[in-house]
């Protein structure tokens, strides 16, 4: 099998932890798995789909400059349209960044647990990956520990903010310190803000103007548009930006995605309702968890729709226990550093919280 001998060793040999939900065929009563918006899609989506004014799909997408200008305008022009690269969600952009900046000899520093696709694709591109362990039961993410772990050999420091799977949001001033350290050491700081629409705009790392900072954003979470597969990254370093544009695939975002994505930038009310609803529902979910003996939630921000839940019981399988009652989550085994006793839970929609509470209590026999 010559093809197998000649393929990249990391692709051939790396262990792949597929999301448990990808294999799940049992009935689901309450879906708390993938990080979609618990409110569903915005109301204007159906209006646009029924308007008859969608682009003709027979042609390639046009120039994305108007979309990049709209993004810049929506952020009060704190970055330029020329600083923006668009792609198929934050995951697609992570793959592009990995192909651009990672090869054998490249070192990446992150934390564990963390969104698995980032570390995976950096390593698939040939980089080594080292992480700072977040310790149970709180799994507190302290950027100071990342700074202390830096050796000067890192090409990239990668961090989710808001953090996936816990939903923590390290303070912006701490991120500024980390960015300064990366700048001084010649490393890029890649910040995945896939859940960033759930934090106030003034708290985004987009507000940091260091040349080393690359920020990823998605339309899948706070904007309720996971199905259009669109995202963007902001790169203020012109040299790095040129390298990324060389690698990024052309026509990565469809004409329909550009249309719906641009419309979402005008709908501030949907973002406001999403943030408000998530806070209300998450407060109730955290109360339900705190009333459950032997179950704890890691440190988390009250406005982020995901959280990490763990059981104290040895050999526990939290995913299975909840799935048996019809509550689907993401199993802890999908995240490096976690096991079956943990699960990432996205808060349910407000119309499902009563069912969630009833099934949760049934799962832990607290009723």
Could you tell me if 322 and 21 are in contact, meaning their C-beta atoms sit under 8 angstroms apart? no
How many Å apart are CA 193 and CA 179, to the nearest integer?
15
CATH number, position 339: 3.90.1150.10
213 and 100 in a common domain: yes
From 204, 231, 264, the end of a domain falls on: 264
121 and 204 in a common domain: yes
Could you tell me if 353 and 40 are in contact, meaning their C-beta atoms sit under 8 angstroms apart? no
How many Å apart are CA 190 and CA 204, to the nearest integer?
13
In terms of Cβ atoms closer than 10 Å to its own Cβ (0-12, 13-18, 19+), residue 112 is middle
Residue 271, token pair as written in the block: 């973002």
Residue 321, token pair as written in the block: 């226990």
How many Å apart are CA 326 and CA 309, to the nearest integer?
17
251 and 109 in a common domain: yes
Rg (CA), the chain: 21
Q: Is the residue at 231 inside a domain?
A: yes
- pLDDT tens for 121-146 read 999 999 999 999 999 999 999 999 99
- pLDDT tens for 308-342 read 999 988 888 999 999 999 999 999 999 999 999 99
Q: Is the residue at 148 inside a domain?
A: yes
Residue 212, token pair as written in the block: 């080393």
Domain range spanning residue 252? Answer: 59-264
From 264, 285, 311, the end of a domain falls on: 264
Burial call 21-59: b when 16+ CB within 10 Å, e when fewer: beeeeeeeebbbbbbbbbbebbeebeeeeeeeeeeeeee
Q: What pLDDT shows up at residue 22?
A: 63
Ramachandran bin of 126, using left for φ above 0, alpha for ψ from -120 to 50, beta for the remaining angles: left
Q: What pLDDT shows up at residue 127?
A: 96
Q: Classify strands 128-133 and 306-311 as parallel, antiparallel or unpaired.
A: unpaired
Could you tell me if 310 and 296 are in contact, meaning their C-beta atoms sit under 8 angstroms apart? yes
pTM over 0.85: yes
Q: How many domains does the chain have?
A: 2
Q: Of all residues in the chain, what percent carry a pLDDT higher than 90?
A: 80
Please state the three-class secondary structure of 135-164 as a single string: CCCCCCCCHHHHHHHCCCCCCEEEEECCCC
Q: How confident is the model at residue 62 (pLDDT cuts 50, 70, 90)?
A: confident
211 and 97 in a common domain: yes
293 and 158 in a common domain: no
For residue 40, what is the enclosing H or E element? none
């Amino acid at each position: 099998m010559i093809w197998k001998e000649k393929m990249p060793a990391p692709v051939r040999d790396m262990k792949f932890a597929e999301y448990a939900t990808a294999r799940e065929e049992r009935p689901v009563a309450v879906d708390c798995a993938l990080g979609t918006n618990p409110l569903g899609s915005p109301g204007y989506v159906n209006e646009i789909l029924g308007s008859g004014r969608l682009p003709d799909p027979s042609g390639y997408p046009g120039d994305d400059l108007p979309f990049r200008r709209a993004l810049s305008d929506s952020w009060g022009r704190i970055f330029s349209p020329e600083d923006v690269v668009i792609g198929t969600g934050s995951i697609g952009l992570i793959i592009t960044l990995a192909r651009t900046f990672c090869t054998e000899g490249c070192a990446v520093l992150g934390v564990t647990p963390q969104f698995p696709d980032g570390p995976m694709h950096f390593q698939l591109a040939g980089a080594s990956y080292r992480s700072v362990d977040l310790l149970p039961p709180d799994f507190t993410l302290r950027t100071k520990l990342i700074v202390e772990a830096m050796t000067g050999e890192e090409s990239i420091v990668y961090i989710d903010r808001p953090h996936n799977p816990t939903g923590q949001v390290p303070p912006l001033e701490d991120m500024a310190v980390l960015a300064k350290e990366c700048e001084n050491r010649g490393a890029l700081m890649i910040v995945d803000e896939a859940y960033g629409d759930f934090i106030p705009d003034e708290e985004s790392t987009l507000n940091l103007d260091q040349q080393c900072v690359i920020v990823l954003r998605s339309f899948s979470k706070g904007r309720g548009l996971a199905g259009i597969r669109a995202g963007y990254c902001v790169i203020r370093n012109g040299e790095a930006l040129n390298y990324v544009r060389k690698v990024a695939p052309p026509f990565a975002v469809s004409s329909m995605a550009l249309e719906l994505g641009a419309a979402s930038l005008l709908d501030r009310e949907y973002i406001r309702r999403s943030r408000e609803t998530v806070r209300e529902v998450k407060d109730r979910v955290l109360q339900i968890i705190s009333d459950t003996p032997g179950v704890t939630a890691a440190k988390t921000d009250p406005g982020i729709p995901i959280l990490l839940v763990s059981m104290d019981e040895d050999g526990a399988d939290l995913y299975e226990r909840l799935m048996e009652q019809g509550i689907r989550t993401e199993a802890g085994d999908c995240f490096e550093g976690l096991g079956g006793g943990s699960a990432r839970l996205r808060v349910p929609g407000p119309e499902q919280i009563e069912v969630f509470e009833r099934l949760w209590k049934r799962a832990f026999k607290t009723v």
